[in-house]
Chains A and B, each alone.
Chain A
Amino acid sequence: MGGYGDIEMIDENGLRMDGRTATDVRPITIETGVVPVADGSCRMTWGTNDVIVAVYGPMEAHPRKIQRQDRAVLDVRYNMAPFSTTDRIRPGFNRRSREISKVTSDALESVVLLEMYPRSKIRVEIEVICAEAGTRCVGLTAASVALAHAGIPMSDLVVSVASGKINDIVVCDLNKEEDNYGEADLPMGILPNSGEIVFLQMDGDLSQEEFQTAWDYNVAAAYEVHKIMIEALKNGGVN
């Protein structure tokens, strides 16, 4: 969060720098089956975010000490490619990617019917090829599509969207410039069939009213994104 920006992010008509209204999300495409050697996969572009997810499994869980007698273990990894950002990222895990891997795993564990595969392992590999803003949301959303593409039973898909605040106005789905000058960020993971929440983070500064607006924006946007996910899974190809 860069504090109060001295750049006008929203014009007098309420339009943002890229022409979106406060509630619009960036353009989204989803393509399944992009990793031919994986059991399930998808590529999701969201604005200039470009994320590839591959799912392997259910497979043997080894070493044996990681096995669970009553359910499968979910092994989720979020990673950013070295060339995915303006400044190169040194390869390897860092604290940020570890945390995002963990919260993504926690969210997915809430919907994947792990008890159907005791003593096995399901690997979810999230690779950010190009990052704009909101990569954790794209990663979680794409991961649920890839799991569905792999035929892994789930109680619901997960749609993750973030809203934030720029120039004291709450807007949905911040892009790169808005994120740099943003004053708050509220990413959520929503189950579109029940409206329940499996992922929630927030940082910045929001009043109770602003918080409620951001929450409502996220829920509304999630239903829009859900339609695109369903279409992609039905078509099994480019959406």
Chain B
Amino acid sequence: MAIPLVSKLLRAHLLELASKDERLDGRGRWEGRETNLEIDILPRAEGSAKVTMGDTIVYAGVKFQLMKPYPDRPNEGGLMCGAEVRPVAGRNWEPGPPSAESIELGRVVDRGIRESGCIDVKSLCIIPGEKAWQVILDLFAISDDGNLFDAFALAGIAALKTATLPCERFEVGQDQKLELSSLPIMCSYHKVGNRFVYDANYKEELGGDERIHITLGEDDHVHSLQKGLKGIFSAEEFVEIMEKAKDTSKELRKLVNSVVGE
């Protein structure tokens, strides 16, 4: 990603807004943008979702492949999660091999899903030591207006929840739903104007400092954390955003359940 020049005017403006407890687009400090989730939109994918958060738009698609289980885990299938931010998504995203930013995106989303244990990798095994399913979740950004992390995580978990194992096409029995035992949800907070806000847009990201990503599972269990970019935060600040993440993750989980069905 090309690193854009950040104007001092933008930073000063964000600071001034923060002092009045306001934001660029008039939102409250912990208020997210309008979020829309659509499922089953890609007929070639075995599970798919599209998430729109303001002007940020992402797709997630699930594909399955047969794999030979790893020698040290002969009874387990695999999960692979990749994020791609191609230059279609914005003028600062450049062509070429995946940038550090998009690799970080994919890995943080991957950890949240993997560590929540929502996919029982043992159930993906078909013949121990010989044949197992590999679940491949591909995240694809179409329009980047900030907070791709949350959009990717939401689209990713929704796509997995709609996914069907294509057993008939691979001649290993009958098609069946991919079972998810929980719904890990990511909430991201950016330091903008020296205070944390939820769901920063592109301009807030540009004129802001560090960001923190929290993935919470059922009963508020913590599954992944990531601090990104330059910046310093206090323990008190972290306690505050963790409290907010508990509430926001419950709302988003409700959204997924209402769209996909429990």
Contacts and interface: CB of A to CB of B under 8 A. Distances in A.
A36 B55 contact: yes
A130 B44 contact: yes
A88 interface: yes
B255 interface: no
Interface residues of B, number: 32
B142 A127 contact: yes
A82 B61 contact: yes
B83 to A, nearest CB: 10
Given A83-B42, A88-B65, A37 B136 contact: no
B166 to A, nearest CB: 9
Interface string A184-207: 000000000000000000000000
Contact of B88 (A54, A84, A92): A54
Given A37-B89, A92-B97, A130-B44, A83 B142 contact: no
Interface of A is mostly: loop
A180 interface: no
Contacts, number: 93
Contacts of A16: none
B143 interface: yes
B59 A82 contact: no
B44 A85 contact: yes
Contact of B143 (A36, A81, A92): A36
A7 to B, nearest CB: 18
Contact of B91 (A36, A48, A59, A77): A59
A129 B59 contact: yes
A86 B168 CA distance: 13
Nearest to B47: A83
A193 B62 CA distance: 42
Interface in A31-48: 34-38, 48
Interface of B: 42-45, 48, 55, 57, 59, 61-63, 65, 82, 84, 86-91, 95, 97-98, 136, 138, 140, 142-145, 169, 202
20 contacts: A34-B142, A34-B143, A35-B88, A37-B55, A37-B89, A37-B202, A52-B142, A59-B91, A81-B61, A82-B61, A83-B42, A83-B62, A84-B61, A88-B65, A88-B136, A91-B84, A127-B88, A129-B42, A129-B140, A130-B44
